[in-house]
Structure 1
Amino acid sequence: MAHDAGGPPFAAGSPAVAGAQQSNEVTLRFLAAPTDKGHSGSVDAGTVLEWVDKAAYAAAVGWAKTYCVTAYVGNIHFADPVNVGDMVEVTATIVYTGRSSMHIRTVVSSGDPKGGTPTMRSDCLVIFVAVGEDGRPVEVPAWVPRTEGEREAEAHAKARIAVRDEIVASMKRQEYTDAGTAERVVLRFLAAPTDVNWGGKVHGGTVMKWIDEAAYVCASRYCGRDAVAVFSGGVRFYRPLLIGDVVEVEARLVYTGTKGMHIAVHVRSGSPRGHELNLTTYCLTVMVARDETGTAVPVPRWEPVSDEDRRLWEHARELLEIRGKAPGGRLPNHLLGA
């Protein structure tokens, strides 16, 4: 089930005109503010994911002309940091449409506001679903690629569908219990009114920021250093998260490469008047340790102890192999080392 993204109702491109296909692209531009500075000294991955969600929402709503919810955020590699004071450009382009879904390529670039060419910082595919007033999926206009570049982008999006289904199936097969012995943290709090989106639920980008925060705490505690996200993948939204809900964000180490710490994150929520928490979102984030200069450094190898440890370790390796099948979906080589 999709999650309400609820970004602002930006005008998404120009209106459709007779005989012409409406615009499939939105670009947001703004300065990275001092309040965007994270624990790493630059803008955290969670904030970048919030921007990605807002831009993709704007493109989706502009295309569908109805409310839209986040269903899935694909593999996103954070190539370089966004710094406070940067001019940030987030471009969201619809590259493929299903019956009610829109597959949106989102590129984040930033650079010196005084001039120069912005540098691409991250690139990912986001899937939104259009819904009606009753909350059920509704049909969207079909996107028809017209140039070779658009046809190639559509082909890449379609090729990722089978890979995404394989990732989701692999994640669903896993069980996380107290039998695991790896580093683990749990953050708990109430979803605040300031987290609300335009649909009255918690903003999808806010949920992704919580995921980044929990992964940071888990990774930093394990390696004893500052850590930053370099990759997030398979962010699947199962159900909406309501304002006032009790939120539980659990992050657990499942695998270490040479420098990368693979952290599985589950977000659960439920009424504070009850005892049951339901799974809202799940993903796997890769963090790297950094020294005082900001350079990535090796981390201690984690050795599985219990049967569950070994199963989740193999699961992380399997996800690496699955993602390698998608166009441009392979992780950097330094994260693949044993």
Structure 2
Amino acid sequence: MFKSVKSSRIEISQLMLPSNTNFGGKIHGGYILSLMDQIAFSCASKHSQSYCVTASVDKVNFLNPIEVGELVTMKASVNYVGNSSMVVGIRVESENIRTGKKKHCNSSYFTMVAVDESGNTVEVPGLKITNEEELKRFLKAIKRNEANKMRKLEFSEENFSVEDYKESLKSYRVDIKL
């Protein structure tokens, strides 16, 4: 069985309140991450028709601060599926509701895994790709996964040697005393 990207796409909007601010008066990044996790769960669960758990979050860059009183909109879609896992892409935008000005605040990728009542992984439907943008997102997820595997292999106990890196670190602000 295959499901389209569109069939599990989710969008939520929420007004940012003073109770969600950090010490600098901006909306707390942890609060935004919590909302992102909720929408990732909803999107993945909708696609898989199963309970889903967060396996990993790939790179969250906070590009622009979110102000109190702004309307935050999060858009999520399944970008990639494996056997039991799904990569959910999330885009976060804020809007000043008085001026209508919108800002891209961050984008991130949550890997979600479908599980049954006992916590065992379950197979998820395949992904039906219907346009070039969806195909590009699928391919980018594959490339991120491959890069993560290569980094893990490069720095594994059996492959890592300090001597291989000492020379290349001379241009960095680090004083190595091993």
Task: Say which of 84, 98, 113 aligns to 1:100.
Answer: 84
1:108 deviates by 0.7
Question: Higher RCO, 1 or 2 (CA under 8 Å, sep at least 6)?
Answer: 2
Distance 1:57 1:114 in 2: 31
Relative to structure 1, is the Cα distance of residues 84 and 70 closer, same or farther in structure 2, using a 3 angstrom cutoff? same
Q: 1:58 aligns with which of 34, 42, 50?
A: 42
Instruction: Describe how 1:161-176 pairs up with structure 2 within 5 A.
Output: 161-169=145-153, 173=157
Aligned counterpart, 1:68: 52
1:24, 1:47 → 2: CA distance?
Answer: 24
Query: In the alignment, residue 135 of structure 1 is paired with which amino acid?
Result: G
* Distance 1:46-1:304 versus aligned 2 partners, 3 A rule: farther
1:129-157 deviation digits (Å, cap 9, x = unpaired): 00011101100111111111111111111
Q: Could you say if the C-alpha distance between residues 57 and 170 of structure 1 is closer, same or farther in structure 2, counting changes exceeding 3 Å?
A: farther
Give the 3 Å change call, closer, same or farther, for CA 34–171 of structure 1 in structure 2: farther
- 1:37 and 2:21 equivalent? yes
In angstroms, what is the RMSD of aligned CA positions? 2.2
Q: Where do residues 111-130 of structure 1 align in structure 2 (5 Å cutoff)?
A: 111-130=95-114
Which one has the bigger helix percentage?
A: 2
Quick one: which amino acid aligns to residue 175 of structure 2? P
Q: 2:93 aligns with which of 98, 106, 109?
A: 109
Q: Work out the CA distance in 2 between the residues paired with 1:76 and 1:167.
A: 18
The amino acid across from 1:304 in the alignment is: D
> Hey, what does 1:216 align to over in structure 2?
none
The CA distance in 1 between the partners of 2:9 and 2:26, in whole Å, is 28
SS at match of 2:109: strand
Cα drift, residue 82 of structure 1: 0.9
- TM-score, normalising length: structure 1: 0.45
> Paired residue for 2:175, among 304, 318, 322?
304
Structure 2 match to 1:154: 138
State whether residues 3 and 126 of structure 2, in contact with CA within 8 Å, keep that contact through their aligned partners in structure 1: no
State whether residues 17 and 68 of structure 2, in contact with CA within 8 Å, keep that contact through their aligned partners in structure 1: yes
1:38-84, CA deviations, whole angstroms, 9 ceiling, x for partnerless residues? 02221222222112111111101111111100011001211111111
1:224-282 C-alpha deviation (Å, 9 max, x unpaired): xxxxxxxxxxxxxxxxxxxxxxxxxxxxxxxxxx9xxxxxxxxxxxxxxxxxxxxxxxx
Alignment partners' CA distance in 1, 2:97 and 2:104: 15
Return the alpha-carbon distance in structure 2 between the equivalents of residues 75 and 54 of structure 1: 17
TM-score normalised to the size of structure 2? Answer: 0.82
Please name the residue that 2:115 is paired with: 131
Aligned partners of 1:34, 1:167: CA distance in 2, in Å? 40
Residue 118 of structure 1 deviates from its aligned partner by: 2.3
Looking at structure 1, the residues matched to 3 and 85 of structure 2 have their Cα atoms a distance apart, in angstroms, of 21
Q: Which residue of 1 aligns with 2:65?
A: 81
Q: Unpaired runs of 5+ in structure 2?
A: 158-171
How far the C-alpha of 1:117 sits from its partner, in A, is 4.5
- The residue type paired with residue 113 of structure 2 is V
How far apart are residue 113 of structure 1 and its match?
A: 1.9
Q: Distance in 2 between matches of 1:131 and 1:172?
A: 29
| Partner Cα distance (1:112, 1:72) in 2 | 31
Identity %: 27
Whole-angstrom distance in 2 between the partners of 1:77 and 1:172: 26
Q: Distance in 1 between matches of 2:3 and 2:151?
A: 37
Structure 1 unmatched ranges of 5 or more: 1-18, 174-257, 259-300, 308-338
Question: Equivalent residue of 2:77, what SS?
Answer: strand
Alpha-carbon distance in 2 for matches of 1:78, 1:30: 18
1:28 is aligned to 2:5: no
* Offset, 1:115: 4.9
Aligned residues: 162
